[in-house]
Amino acid sequence: MNDLWTIGSLLKWTEGFFAEKGIDTPRLDAEILLAHVLEKERIYLYAHFDEPMTSTELSAYKEMIKKRAARYPVAHILGIKPFMGLDFIVNEHVLVPRPETELLVEAVLEICPKEVPVRVLDMGTGSGAILLSLLSYLPQATGTGVDISSDALKIAAENSEALHIDRAQWVNSDLFTNVEAHEYDWLVSNPPYLTAPDMQNLEKEVKYDPKTALYGGTDGLDIYRRLASEGGAYLKVGGHCIVEVGAGQARQVAELFTEQDFELVRIINDYADTERHVLLRKKG
């Protein structure tokens, strides 16, 4: 790489370099990183293809290229991940929110009227992306985000402050252990669901996510067993629970809950038509 680069030539070179490193979206990643360095929208890159890079810009971009070539996730490089139209602070202490998890939030929003006060309990809140997105779109809602990681809760609190949402409280707890008894309208969770074999075959980028947010026990269902057996005590009669699941787990997870105080409402497929979310209602 030399020091005489335009935006266009740099993007072309980076795309080829990332492709050689086995990165799935080389052009997209190059554009996102360069736009961040320039503090512009991606569309700016195409309107200024021949614009030369300054030495300061080039130096900052080189450092990002090195990290991405080592398969460090783009979200971790930038420290920000868009989710539900909002920007969330992320780092190595939290799971980077995935696009399919937006479907969980959307399923809740389909049922909840904006004008009705509801209480949401988010188990394994991480960055707070699910809970804070719900509170953003449901102005009468309040919520509790729970995580076993105090480092994750610090990020959730930072996101709450950055988004100017003061209707969330954060509880450091191993699931329900330290959660006060209340009747919530919603229990939501994207718990760890990877199996032991899954953990041996992680994509390189996923290895930077915290293991506690990934590993769900030998069969991936450890947390669901606890959510199913303990969660009903925290929900109102007729209240809802929705959980994200791994590929092939939806029916097993649904059975765990229906053996307790829940009835299955529906199973929701993701963009790849994989069963991804289980929506349930507390009986009574």
Assigned CATH class of 89-282: alpha beta
Residue set of the binding site for substrate: 190-193
Q: Which helix (H) or strand (E) holds 108?
A: helix 101-111
What is the pTM for the complete model shown? 0.91
Residue set of the binding site for S-adenosyl-L-methionine: 124-128, 147, 190
- Contacts by 53-60, CB closer than 8 A, 24 or more apart: 53/5, 53/6, 53/7, 53/10, 55/3, 58/3, 58/5, 58/10
For residue 269, what are the β-bridge partners? 275
CA distance 148 to 32: 32
Place of tokens 């700016």: 44
Domain spans of the chain, in order of start: 7-70, 89-282
Task: Write out the chain's pLDDT in tens, 284 residues.
Answer: 555 899 999 999 999 999 999 999 999 999 999 999 999 999 999 999 999 999 999 999 999 999 999 999 999 999 999 999 999 999 999 999 999 999 999 999 999 999 999 999 999 999 999 999 999 999 999 999 999 999 999 999 999 999 999 999 999 999 999 999 889 999 999 999 998 888 888 888 888 888 888 888 999 999 999 999 999 999 999 999 999 999 999 999 999 999 999 999 999 999 999 999 999 999 98
What ranges in 113-234 are assigned the alpha helix state H?
A: 129-137, 150-162, 196-200, 222-231
Residue set of the binding site: 124-128, 147, 190-193
Short-list 232, 143, 239, 234, CA closest to 182: 234
